[in-house]
């Protein structure tokens, strides 16, 4: 760029794979194109699904005609929303006995899950100065970007055992055991690991919590799929709640997103929760003030509309029950599509083993397809998935699953 008249010193950066793929899919005119790229819920007709409960809440909000609905919130965000978000994540039910536990948590509103991850990374980079952050290998690609921008050196722990297509628990534990240093951050996916769809079981979570406590590591949970993965908000929050309740001498934090579980993708609804340990409860408000300092300098406060919808739903027993039903609809359809793809591949006797597709959890399947096969699927069949082989299962439907299975069968059999 030496002959360009600019004061900038910029080098090309690779486009974000997920959204570049989404853009390419949108302009592809092929009638049978299939999007298995970005993690968004789609109906069996391939359409977006504004959750029925969200539509109900929106209508009720219009009727309410709240004069304050477009006003500024506090810098930390909508305070009642934050209490509701915290209670959902940590399982508080409004009992007096929970007050001490609640007092350990400082919460602020964020620009959805990405914003919560980013704010948390920035906050820890400024105020904890970890030597490293440990990300699973593989992880959501944006985790790398977020921590890179926060200026914290990134290391990875093994997570995926390619030969068996299973969670590499031993690899994760031995790597953190031998290499992680006191004060390092360990990024953990609360449920529905993105991209592998493989989560630790409860016994393994207990061992991970013990290891973090013993080695004085700082657990940073990314919770993007609470209720969406299993259909149960309790089940999907199990790991976060276990760490919080059973390791009260450990500090930790949670980045919470409402994009998937409320289908509020573009509304950017999220929260960041910092959990002090039992001995540091008194710094909670200082933590929140420092988070607010960062928020004020970046975006002043989180957006209002989406969190108002979440608040409307979660403050009504009737709407909350409706929401739980909507979660079941989404998680069941994804499970059904996993089964359908698996059945088709088995029926076609596609070379390889495919049980992993039904064993994995959440939005994604880590199919095991190679970059070359992924490229062939796009080139020949207009089927879009990430080059790692990650497929967003929600892009499958009764109408296209046979087409997709046939295409996978073809690219595997006719490689070279
Ligand atoms: C994904 O992984 O596809 C989603 O979480 C969307 C995103 O922001 O990357």
Catalytic residue among 56, 247, 260, 311: 260
pLDDT 10s digits, 309-323: 999 999 999 999 999
Q: How far apart are CA 384 and CA 395, in angstroms?
A: 10
| Ligand 1: centre distance to CA 363 (Å) | 10
d(CA 18, ligand 1 centre) in Å: 7
Q: State the Cα–Cα distance between residues 336 and 319, nearest whole angstrom.
A: 25
Strand-pairing partners, residue 257, are 270
The residue whose C-alpha atom lies closest to atom 5 belonging to ligand 1 is 39
Tell me the C-alpha distance between 232 and 311, whole Å. 19
User: Residues near 232 by Cβ (< 8 Å), separated by ≥ 6?
Assistant: 327
The one catalytic residue in 78, 222, 326, 409 is 222
Do the beta carbons of residue 38 and residue 393 sit within 8 Å? Answer: no
Query: Quick one: pLDDT at residue 415?
Result: 86
The string of DSSP codes covering 176-189 is: HHHH--TT-EEEEE
Q: Where are the alpha helices (DSSP H) in 69-168?
A: 79-90, 99-102, 112-127, 141-149
Atom of ligand 1 lying closest to residue 194 CA:
2
Cα torsion 14, 118, 38, 53 to 10°: value is: -160
Ligand 1 pocket, 140 CB below 6 A?
A: yes
Nearest CA-CA partner of 410 in 345, 337, 343: 345
Backbone angles phi, psi at 236, to 5 degrees: -75, -10
* Cβ-contact 120, 92 below 8 angstroms: no
Cβ of 194 closer than 6 Å to ligand 1, yes or no, is yes
Specify the pLDDT at position 2. 59
Give the number of C-alpha atoms closer than 13 A to the C-alpha of residue 97, restricted to the C-beta side: 2
Residue 403 CB coordination number (10 Å): 17
What lies within 8 Å, CB to CB, of 37 at 6+ separation is: 18, 21, 22, 25, 384, 385, 386, 392, 395
pLDDT digits (tens, 9 = 90+) for 101-125: 999 999 999 999 999 999 999 999 9
**Helices of type H across 95-232:** 99-102, 112-127, 141-149, 169-179, 202-214
> Residue 357 C-alpha to ligand 1 middle, in angstroms?
19
Please report, in angstroms and rounded to a whole number, the separation of the first and last CA atoms in the chain.
Answer: 39
Calculate how far, in angstroms, residue 196's C-alpha sits from the geometric centre of ligand 1: 13
Q: In what order do the strands lie in the sheet with 105-111?
A: 105-111, 269-275, 252-257, 218-223, 185-189, 133-137, 154-158
Digit-by-digit pLDDT tens for the chain (416 residues) are: 557 899 999 999 999 999 999 999 999 999 999 999 999 999 999 999 999 999 999 999 999 999 999 999 999 999 999 999 999 999 999 899 999 999 999 999 999 999 999 999 999 999 999 999 999 999 999 999 999 999 999 999 999 999 999 999 999 999 999 999 999 999 999 999 999 999 999 999 999 999 999 999 999 999 999 999 999 999 999 999 999 999 999 999 999 999 999 999 999 999 999 999 999 999 999 999 999 999 999 999 999 999 999 999 999 999 999 999 999 999 999 999 999 999 999 999 999 999 999 999 999 999 999 999 999 999 999 999 999 999 999 999 999 999 999 999 999 999 87
pTM for this one?
Answer: 0.97
CA distance 134 to 131: 10
Ligand 1 near 38 CB (within 6 A): yes
Nearest CA to ligand 1 atom 1: 39
């Amino acid at each position: 760029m030496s002959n360009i008249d600019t004061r900038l010193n910029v080098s090309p950066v690779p486009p974000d794979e997920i959204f570049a793929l989404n853009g390419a899919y949108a302009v592809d005119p092929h009638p049978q194109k299939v999007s298995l790229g970005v993690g968004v819920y789609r109906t069996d007709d391939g359409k977006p699904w504004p959750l029925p409960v969200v539509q109900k809440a929106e209508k009720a909000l219009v009727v309410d005609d709240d004069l304050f609905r477009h006003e500024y919130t506090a810098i930390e965000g909508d305070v009642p929303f934050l209490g509701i978000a915290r209670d959902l994540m940590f399982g508080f039910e409004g009992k007096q006995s929970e007050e001490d536990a609640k007092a350990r948590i400082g919460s602020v509103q964020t620009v959805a899950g990405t914003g919560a991850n980013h704010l948390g990374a920035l906050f820890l980079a400024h105020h904890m100065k970890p030597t490293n952050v440990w990300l699973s290998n593989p992880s959501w690609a944006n985790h790398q970007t977020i921590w890179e921008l926060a200026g914290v050196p990134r290391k990875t722990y093994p997570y995926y055992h390619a030969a068996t297509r299973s969670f590499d628990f031993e690899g994760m534990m031995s790597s953190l055991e031998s290499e992680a240093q006191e004060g390092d951050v360990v990024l953990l996916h609360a449920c529905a690991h993105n991209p592998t769809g493989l989560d630790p079981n409860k016994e393994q979570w207990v061992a991970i919590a013990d290891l973090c406590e013993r080695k004085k590591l700082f657990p940073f949970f990314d919770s993007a799929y609470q209720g969406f993965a299993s259909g149960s908000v309790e089940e999907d929050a199990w790991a976060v709640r276990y760490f919080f309740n059973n390791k009260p001498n450990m500090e930790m934090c949670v980045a919470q997103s409402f994009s998937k579980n409320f289908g509020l993708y573009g509304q950017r609804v999220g929260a960041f929760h910092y959990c002090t340990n039992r001995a540091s409860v008194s710094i909670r408000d200082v933590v929140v003030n420092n988070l607010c300092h960062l928020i004020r300098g970046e975006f002043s406060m989180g957006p209002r509309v989406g969190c108002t919808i979440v608040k409307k739903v979660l403050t009504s027993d009737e709407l909350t029950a409706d929401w739980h039903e909507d979660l079941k609809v989404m998680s069941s359809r994804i499970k059904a599509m996993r089964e359908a793809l698996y059945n088709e591949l088995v029926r076609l006797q596609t070379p390889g083993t495919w049980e992993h597709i039904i064993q994995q959890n959440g939005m994604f399947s880590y199919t095991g397809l190679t970059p070359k096969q992924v490229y062939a699927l796009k080139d020949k069949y207009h089927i879009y998935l990430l080059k790692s082989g990650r497929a967003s299962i929600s892009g499958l439907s009764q109408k296209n699953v046979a087409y997709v299975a046939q295409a996978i069968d073809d690219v595997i059999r006719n490689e070279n």
